Amino acid sequence: MSSVATGLAAPRLDRFGGVTQARVARSEWTKLHSLRSTRWSLLAACVLTIGFPLLFATILSTRTHPEQGHHHSALEVGLAGVNVSQLAIAVLGALFMTGEYSTGMIRATLTAVPKRLPVLWAKLAVYAVVSFLLMLPCVVVAFFASQAILARKDLFQISFSHPGVARAVIGGAVYLMLVGLFALALGAIVRNTAGGIATFAAIFFVIPPLLNILPTSWNDAISPWLPDSAARAIFQLTHDSHSLAPGPGALLLCG
């Protein structure tokens, strides 16, 4: 019996390593890039971010007269895809967290990393880096490509060096990154894919329109503090008395 037990003994490892935040982050990166849903969701986000501005710019260039152009519409056309691609980014963010609960992999994760917060920090950091580095080129390409289409008829022209434009364009990528992190955090709370996505949709797409039934004074007082409105301040060129500035808006959503 002793010889059999000795033969089945686990081999000794040449080196030992504890659980560090860097190693947890590397394991989360492995999970993220090995999922098929990651590739499809990020591809959809890229296509929507670039495709919608090109579509809108093409339609405007054929139906709009030059005297109808103005600065605000130029930026709105270039960032039109952000309003659509946020759903793909949010769905992937929620799946990145809730997928482990649906498959049962969370048991292995929390066995290897008994503390929950290092896992959450690692997921947030990995997804923030991936989503921002991927969405930033897409938003920049969408802006310049839509401007090139509109330039054929001198429509809605605005320079990247115009005050606030660079901040707004880069802010579009920051907005998508923060929306993804927000959805990931909702997934960590709900621990269910359908519940996380439904909660995100309610907060970003259902509650804001419902506020229109409130008196105008109430709507103006509440709307700027909603997550969606606060986040949109990041990539808006101008702000009025009923909206937050980009800095406070970003901090509010992060909080």
The tens digit of pLDDT for each residue in 64-114 reads: 655 555 544 778 888 889 989 999 999 999 999 998 888 888 888 888 888
pLDDT of 135 > 60? The answer is yes
* The pLDDT of residue 249: 81
On the CB side of 22, how many CA atoms lie within 13 Å of its CA? 2
Identify whether 159 is part of a domain.
Answer: yes
Question: In whole angstroms, how large is the CA radius of gyration of the chain?
Answer: 23
- Return d(Cα 115, Cα 12) in angstroms, integer: 26
Identify whether 216 is part of a domain.
Answer: no
Instruction: Give me the domain span that covers residue 122.
Output: 20-192
Identify whether 107 is part of a domain.
Answer: yes
What is the number of structural domains in the chain? 1
More confident: 210 or 128: 128
* The pLDDT of residue 231: 82
Q: Give the least confident one: 14-18, 34-38, 155-159, 181-185.
A: 14-18
How confident is the prediction for the chain on average, in pLDDT?
83
Identify whether 148 is part of a domain.
Answer: yes
Residues with Cβ within 8 Å of 246's Cβ and at least 6 positions away in sequence, in order, are 167, 171, 233, 234, 235, 236, 239
* The pLDDT of residue 12: 56
What percent of the chain stands above pLDDT 70?
Answer: 87
Identify whether 130 is part of a domain.
Answer: yes
* The pLDDT of residue 1: 47
Identify whether 34 is part of a domain.
Answer: yes
- Return d(Cα 78, Cα 86) in angstroms, integer: 15
User: What would the mean pLDDT of 197-207 be, rounded to a whole number?
Assistant: 90
Q: Whole-model pTM?
A: 0.84
User: What would the mean pLDDT of 180-206 be, rounded to a whole number?
Assistant: 92
* The pLDDT of residue 8: 53
pLDDT of 179 > 80? The answer is yes
Residues with Cβ within 8 Å of 51's Cβ and at least 6 positions away in sequence, in order, are 81
Identify whether 204 is part of a domain.
Answer: no
Identify whether 211 is part of a domain.
Answer: no
* The pLDDT of residue 17: 60
- Return d(Cα 13, Cα 220) in angstroms, integer: 63
The phi and psi torsions of 252 (rounded to 5 degrees) equal -65, -45
Q: Which of 142, 132, 116 is nearest to 55 (CA)?
A: 142
